[in-house]
Amino acid sequence: MILSKDGKWKTVQYGNPAGAAFKEDFANDFSKAANVRDELKNGDGVSVIVGVGDYAGFNFHFWTAMPVRVDVDTSTIVAVYTSCEARLIIDNIQKPDDRKDC
């Protein structure tokens, strides 16, 4: 959201994230496709696996998918507010619940 000089908040982007798996230090801007899974059946959103296996040393660098890019007149902005909700979920219900270890 942005706060305009007229005192009004405006939502400029929203929705599920898009992104990629980037090296934790973002060195050389190296990234690869993230392991993203749609979680519509598990309360909505997406899930990603990072930091282990093929994704050890990577993080999920994300941005909102809707709309893709917004042009904003920066001379009219007083403030910017960003929010993201995240939660741990069970990856495989056939395996032990390891969320307490995260």
Q: Between residues 27 and 98, which one has the greater pLDDT?
A: 27
Question: What does the pLDDT look like over 4-15, one tens digit per residue?
Answer: 999 999 998 887
Closest CA to 44 of 16, 14, 84, 82: 16
Closest CA to 13 of 86, 68, 84, 77: 68
- The answer, yes or no, to whether residue 18 has pLDDT greater than 80, is yes
- The answer, yes or no, to whether residue 28 has pLDDT greater than 70, is yes
Predicted pLDDT at 27 = 93
E strands, the chain, where? 2-4, 9-10, 14-23, 31-32, 36-38, 46-48, 58-66, 77-80
**pTM beyond cutoff 0.85:** no
Predicted pLDDT at 67 = 64
Supply φ then ψ for residue 34, to 5 degrees.
-80, 155
Question: What does the pLDDT look like over 45-102, one tens digit per residue?
Answer: 788 887 888 999 999 998 887 767 788 889 999 999 988 887 777 777 788 887 777 6
